[in-house]
Amino acid sequence: MADERMQTGRGIKPVVRSSRLPRMTDEAPPAKPIGGRTLLMAAEPKADTGKTRRMSAVSKATARQPKEHPEMKARATRAATRRKDGYVHLRVRVSESGRLAVVGAQAVEGPLVSSKLQGALAYEVALGGTPIASGSIPDAGEKRSFPAPDAEIPEMRGHHVTQVPTYDVSVRVPKAEVPVAELPKLEIALYRIKEELPEEAPAMAAAAPIGEQFERELRPVGRLKGIRPEKLAKPVADEVKKAFR
């Protein structure tokens, strides 16, 4: 396309959109048939006398505003639609050695938004090697007592921080992506965020696992290879099967 720029000043000719189109004249416009007929507005249109699909007649009633308005009435949503975009909130226990274990699972209805990979930890969920979800855990693995503002000992005016050997994190898995039968192929990788990831880094890696994409910024903490309900404690196994059903 040619570089077309506006020109202004004396003698600049108008841009002709199409030479096949006419120029404006002082003549009355030709009447264009509509549906084969010439339709012209009457000088004084007749009043409407129809009865169907009309607003009800104007009454002299006035609207009184109630003291409290009721909830605005929502449209009914179809359960089938809601089920389709649900996800599972997995509670995963991280031990000191980096071992990951599922200790709880709950199905949640509705859409799932991926968080940015910022904070203390990041996780990625993959199925058969293909990443399907990722997220971050801003705060994990420590316990902080609130500062004592009036303490005589300066140290007590800050947190007392205790590293927790075992802690739980939340991992969210799109339900539709993981049939129960595929759970043994599900992998959860947990990383410590050592350095800030680039701001534009997608939370959900498009192609490669985040551990490969951000090798410099992420450090592995642990990896759970497959969820086998039969190897879980019964209450947890029941929760997992119910959640992914």
Partner 1 sequence: MADSVTQILNSGPPGAKLNIAVLGDGFAAADQTAYNAKVQDLLLDGVFARDYFYEDKSAYNIFRVNLISVDSGVSQRVYDEKGTPTDASDDTIVSTTIKNTALGYIYSGSWAHCWLEGGAGTGAKVNAALTTWVPDYDLVVIILNEPGFGGCGGGGFQIVTLGSSWAVMAHEFGHGTGGLADEYCANPGAYPGGEPGAPNLTINTDRATLKWRQFVNPTTPLPTGTGSCADYNAGPKPAGWSDSDDAGLFEGGGTWSRGIYRPVVNCRMRGNSPPYCPVCYTRMKSNAEPYAQHTFENVYAGDFNGDGKDDILVHSGNAIHIYRSNGSQLDVVFSAVERVPGSWQFTPGDRFFVGDFNGDGKDEVAVFNGTNWVMEYLGLLADDGANGLRLIARYDNSMPGWDFTPGDRFHVADFNGDGNKDLFVFNGSNWAIPYVGMLRSTGTGFALANRYDGSMPGWQMRPGDRHMVGDFTGNGKEDLWVFNGSNWSIPYLGMLRSTGAALKMSKRYDGSMPGWQMRPNDRHYVGDFNGDGQADLYVFNGTDWSIAYLGMLESTGRKLAMVRRYDGNAPGWQMRAHDMHWIADVNRDGKADLFVYNHQDWTPEYLGTMISSGTDLVSAWKEDWVGEWNLGSVDRFEPCDFEGVGGRRDLIVHNTDWLGMIRATPTLSLRRIYHKWIHNYRYGRNW
Residues 151-180 touching partner 1, rule: CB under 8 A, are 151, 153-162, 164, 167-168, 170, 172
Residues facing residue 169 across a β-bridge? 92
Asked if 87 contacts 114 with a C-beta cutoff of 8 angstroms, the reply is: no
The alpha carbon of residue 220 and the mean position of all alpha carbons in its chain are separated, in whole angstroms, by 26
- Based on the number of CB atoms within 10 Å of its own CB, is 114 exposed (0-12), middle (13-18) or buried (19 or more)? middle
Binding mask 9-38 for partner 1 (x = CB under 8 A): ---xxxxxxxxxxxxxxxxxx-xxxx--xx
Q: Residue 40 CB: number of other CB atoms within 10 A?
A: 7
Q: How far is the CB of 196 from partner 1 (least distance, A)?
A: 6
Subset of 206-235 contacting partner 1 (CB under 8 A):
none
The alpha carbon of residue 215 and the mean position of all alpha carbons in its chain are separated, in whole angstroms, by 26
Residues facing residue 133 across a β-bridge? 125
DSSP-derived secondary structure letter, 104: E
Binding mask 36-75 for partner 1 (x = CB under 8 A): -xxxxxxxxxxxx-x-xxxxx-xxxxxx-x---xxxxxxx
The single residue among 96, 137, 207, 220 that binds partner 1, judged by CB under 8 A, is 137
Complex with partner 1: residue 36 or 129, whichever CB lies closer: 36
Q: Residue 204 CB: number of other CB atoms within 10 A?
A: 15
The single residue among 138, 165, 179, 220 that binds partner 1, judged by CB under 8 A, is 138
The single residue among 78, 111, 128, 207 that binds partner 1, judged by CB under 8 A, is 111
Subset of 73-92 contacting partner 1 (CB under 8 A):
73-75, 87, 89, 91
Contact between 95 and partner 1 (CB under 8 A)?
A: no
